[in-house]
């Protein structure tokens, strides 16, 4: 009788060893079970779900420090929760591993993942391992937000002002690995009921702003002179490069003064334009309204 453990089980234990200690209230079953089981959120909270992936050759390189790969995998998904005004709760991680060399590298990937999970108070409660042609991590997140307060992309109206956090265009070569998801900012905006629409900038302002406008059935005009550029970045990069992971949101004019006067963060806040009637179209001067496209 062969009692040796499957090699996959040995690697998973090595990868996830540092994740075992963190538990959260309401966690019934976590790592090691077929399913993670959590208590349902209270009647005062909505449940927020998100899944995201990073793939070698697309989101990182073979030369990228492994711990930063793990950090980015979680931070990308957290950036979307920030845009929902949500507080992260728990995560599932699916790993695609091509070979033994990548399996060894994944120990450092998980080290970065564990550090990020501790920083942003996320419990890694389970996942899956599969053989793939290149290294990949897919993170599925749950979070909570006060009932009815999560912004979406469809609430902007003509006359609403457009804002972004932080700076744009400086994601490569390193900031896309070390950025801070705007969780606190997104939570504050949602609880103050300030945005009429909000999303995070992952594919670039030139791709993401038109998405928000189409969902809200509005046009827009952006002022290129007001775009907050990252050090060394130019306007084209600020619009099209992508992976800024800042918040883009629309605010009714009646709320804009309150936003500016009460903004409690050191994070830069910049008005960049205004929503227009849909018939006015998308006005960006000579700037290209395009960004990263996985299928182009």
Residue 12 predicted with pLDDT over 70 = no
In this predicted structure, the answer to whether residue 217 has a pLDDT above a threshold of 80 is: yes
Give residue 130's pLDDT: 93
Tell me what pLDDT residue 203 has: 93
| Rounded Cα gap, residues 57 and 47, in angstroms | 33
In this structure, the chain runs to a length of 296
Query: Is the distance from CB of 163 to CB of 197 less than 8 angstroms?
Result: no
Cβ atoms 123, 167 nearer than 8 A: no
Determine the Cα–Cα distance for residues 103 and 16; give it in Å rounded to an integer: 12
Helix-, strand-, coil-residue percentages of the chain, each rounded to 5: 35, 25, 40
| pLDDT higher than threshold 90 for residue 183 | yes
Confidence band for 2, pLDDT divided at 50, 70 and 90: very low
Which pLDDT score, from 0 to 100, does residue 201 have?
A: 97
Note the pLDDT tens digit of each residue in 19-64. 655 566 776 665 555 566 667 788 899 988 999 999 999 999 999 9
Residue 255 has, within 13 A of its CA and on its CB side, a CA count of 17
Question: Where along the chain do its domains lie?
Answer: 7-146, 161-283
Q: pTM for the complete prediction?
A: 0.89
Task: Convert the pLDDT of each residue in 52-107 to its tens digit.
Answer: 999 999 999 999 999 999 999 999 999 999 999 999 999 999 999 999 888 889 99
Helix residue spans in the chain (DSSP H): 7-16, 66-83, 100-119, 175-178, 183-191, 205-216, 235-240, 253-262
Q: What is the pLDDT of residue 10?
A: 72
pLDDT band at 4 (very low <50, low <70, confident <90, very high): low
The DSSP annotation for 124-180 comes to EEEEEEEE-SS-EEEEEEEEEEETT----SS---TTPEEEEES-BS--TTTHHHH--
The answer to whether 169 touches 205, Cβ cutoff 8 Å, is: no
pLDDT given for residue 38 in this prediction: 66
Residues 128-163: pLDDT tens digits? 999 999 999 999 999 999 999 999 999 999 999 999
3-state secondary structure of 99: coil
The C-alpha atoms of residue 261 and residue 271 are separated, in whole angstroms, by: 13
Which CATH fold topology does 161-283 show? Phosphoribosyl-aminoimidazole Synthetase; Chain A, domain 2 (3.90.650)
Q: Kindly state which CATH superfamily the domain 7-146 is placed in.
A: PurM-like, N-terminal domain (3.30.1330.10)
Contact 249, 195 (CB under 8 A): yes
Q: How far is Cα 89 from Cα 92, in angstroms, rounded to an integer? A: 11
Q: Of the candidates 81, 55, 38, 288, which has an alpha carbon nearest to the alpha carbon of residue 183?
A: 81
Residue 34: the pLDDT is 55
Q: What percent of the chain is modeled with pLDDT above 90?
A: 76
């Amino acid at each position: 009788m062969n009692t040796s453990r499957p090699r996959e089980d040995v690697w998973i234990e090595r990868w996830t060893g540092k994740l075992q200690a963190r538990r959260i209230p309401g966690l019934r079953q976590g790592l090691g079970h077929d399913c993670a089981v959590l208590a349902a959120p209270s009647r005062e909270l909505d449940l927020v779900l998100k899944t995201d992936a990073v793939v070698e050759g697309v989101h990182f390189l073979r030369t990228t420090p492994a711990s930063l790969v793990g950090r980015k995998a979680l931070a990308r998904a957290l950036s979307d929760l920030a845009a929902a005004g949500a507080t992260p709760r728990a995560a599932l991680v699916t790993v695609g591993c091509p070979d033994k060399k990548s399996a060894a590298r994944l120990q450092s990937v998980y080290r970065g993942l564990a550090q990020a999970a501790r920083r942003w108070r996320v419990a890694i409660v389970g996942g899956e391992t599969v053989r793939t042609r290149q290294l990949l991590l897919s993170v599925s997140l749950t979070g909570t937000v006060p009932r009815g307060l999560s912004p979406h992309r469809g609430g902007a109206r003509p006359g609403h002002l457009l804002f972004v956090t932080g700076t744009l265009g400086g994601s490569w070569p390193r900031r896309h690995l070390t950025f801070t998801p705007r969780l606190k900012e997104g939570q504050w905006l949602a609880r103050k009921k300030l945005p009429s629409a909000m999303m995070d900038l992952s594919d670039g302002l030139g791709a993401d702003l038109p998405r928000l406008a189409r969902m809200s059935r509005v046009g827009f005009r952006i002022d290129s002179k007001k775009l907050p550029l990252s050090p060394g970045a130019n306007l084209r990069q600020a619009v099209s490069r992508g992976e800024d992971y800042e918040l883009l949101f629309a605010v009714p004019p009646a709320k804009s003064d309150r936003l500016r006067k009460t903004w409690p963060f050191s994070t830069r806040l910049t008005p960049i334009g205004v929503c227009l009637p849909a018939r006015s179209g998308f006005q960006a001067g000579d700037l290209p309204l395009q960004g990263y496209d996985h299928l182009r």
